[in-house]
Structure 1
Amino acid sequence: MTLDDLDRALLRLLVDDATLPAAALGRALGLSQPATWRRIKRLRAAGVLAGRHLDLDAQALGFGVTVFLGIKLATKGRVSLEDFERAITAIPEVQTVTHVLGLYDYRLRVVARDLADFERVLRRRIMTLPGVGDVEANVLLSEERRPGPL
C-alpha cells in the first residue's frame, strides 16, 4: 500500500490521540467525516493500523523496576524454540519476548515491583526454565519515547 501525505497526517493525528472521532480528524485534515472514515478503514484493511493499544504506567501500578534480559539458550537441540517461547510467555512479569540474532537468542522486557521481586522472578521462574544458559540483565534507568508513526 502506498501512503500519501493525507494518510501520513492522519497517522500522526491518531498517534497523538487515537480516541479522536473521524469528524474531528477530518476537520484537522480538511476532509469530510466519511472520507476520513474510509481512509481509516483502508489503513486497517491494509494492516497499517493494527489495533488499538492502551499504555499503562507500570510505575503507577506498583512495578518500579524494568529489566531487559538477554538469554542465550544452552541446549538448542534439546529444547525447541517454541517450547522456550511458550514457557517464557506464561510468566506474567515478562512483558515482551523477542527472538534476536546476535550474542543472545532472546531479549526480554521484565517488570517487577522492586529489585528483590525481580530477583525472585529471575531465580524461581526464568532461570528454572529448561534450556536457559547465559543471562545478562540491564536495569532500565529512563526511557525516551519517539512519538509518531515510522
Structure 2
Amino acid sequence: MRIEIDETDRAMLRLLAADGGMNAGALGRVLGISQPAAWRRLRRLEEAGVIAARRPVLDQPALGFDVTVFLGVKLATRGRVSLDDFERAAAAIPEVQTIQHVLGLFDYRLRVVARDIGDFERVLRRRILTLPGVGQVEANVMMSEERRPGPLGPPDPPGGAV
C-alpha cells in the first residue's frame, strides 16, 4: 500500500534507520510532537508496510567477525530446482548474512562474515564451494561501510522541483 509521507514522517524514518529501537515517546521528544501523535504515525507507517521490521543492527566486529566479504556466485547449472536448492543450502550457513538473487554476471550475491581471512577461507572451501550448483565465485573484501537510510520519498518530478 502506498501512502503519503510528510517531512515529519521522513524525519521519523531517519531516526529509526539510525536506531530502530526508539519508542514513540523518544521519537516524539526528538520530533517535537506528543507521544500519542508519534505512536499514531509509527503505527501508520508499520501498517502501510513502509516499516517492514525493527531489528537491532549487530556490530559484527564487536561479535568477533572482523572480515566481511561479498561473493558473486555463478551457478553451473540452471533451472528452478537448482536455484531453490542453492538458496536453501546457502541459508543454512551461519556466516552467510544475506542471499541476493541478482541479474548480471553472477546469479547470486552473498554477504559473508568471518573472524579473519583464514576463517573466511575455511568457510569458502568447506561450505560455499560445496553448495549445490556452484560454478564460479568472485570475492570482494569489504574495507569500510557507511550505512545510510536511502531515499525517503518519491523522486523529484522530471525537469526538477515544481
TM-score norm. by structure 1 comes to 0.90
| Identity of matched residues, % | 72
Give 2:140's aligned residue.
Answer: 138
Which residue number in structure 2 is paired with residue 10 of structure 1? 12
Aligned partner of 2:63 in structure 1 is 61
- Residue 140 (structure 1) shift: 1.1
> Which residue identity lines up with residue 132 of structure 1 in the other structure?
V
Write the letter of the residue equivalent to 1:5: E
> Would the alpha carbon gap of residues 45 and 111 (structure 1) be closer, same or farther in structure 2, given more than 3 Å must change?
same
Give structure 2 stretches of 5+ with no counterpart. Answer: 153-162
In the TM superposition, residue 39 of structure 1 has moved relative to its aligned partner by 0.9
Asked if structure 2 preserves the Cα contact closer than 8 Å seen for 1:79 and 1:131, the reply is no
Moved more, 73-82 or 119-128: 73-82
**1:103 and 2:131 are equivalent in the alignment:** no
- Superposed CA deviations along residues 79-110 of structure 1, whole A, max 9, x for unmatched, are 42111100101000101100000000000011
Amino acid of the structure 2 residue aligned with 1:125: R
Alpha-carbon distance between aligned partners in 1 of 2:149 and 2:79, rounded to the nearest angstrom = 41
- Name the TM-score, length of structure 2 as normaliser: 0.84
Q: Out of 85-94 and 59-68, give the one that drifted further.
A: 59-68
Poorly superposed stretches of 4+, deviation over 6 Å: none
In 1, distance between residues paired with 2:70 and 2:23?
37
Q: How many residues in Structure 1 have an aligned counterpart in Structure 2?
A: 150
1:2 is displaced (CA, Å) by 1.1
Q: Which amino acid aligns with 1:74?
A: A
1:135 to partner: Cα distance: 0.5
Q: Distance in 2 between matches of 1:43 and 1:77?
A: 38
Aligned to 1:41: 43
What's the CA shift for 1:15?
Answer: 2.7
For 1:76, what is the secondary structure of its paired residue?
Answer: coil
Root-mean-square deviation (CA, aligned residues, Å) is: 1.9
**1:72 is matched with which residue: 71, 74, 81?**
74
Uncovered stretches (5+) of structure 1, i.e. residues with no partner = none
Q: Are the aligned partners of 1:71 and 1:107 in contact in 2 as well (CA < 8 Å)? A: yes
**CA offset at residue 147 of structure 1?**
4.6
Q: Secondary structure at the match of 1:36?
A: helix
Q: Within 2, Cα distance between the matches of 1:148 and 1:127?
A: 33
Q: Distance in 2 between matches of 1:145 and 1:50?
A: 18
Equivalent residue, structure 2, for 1:90 = 92
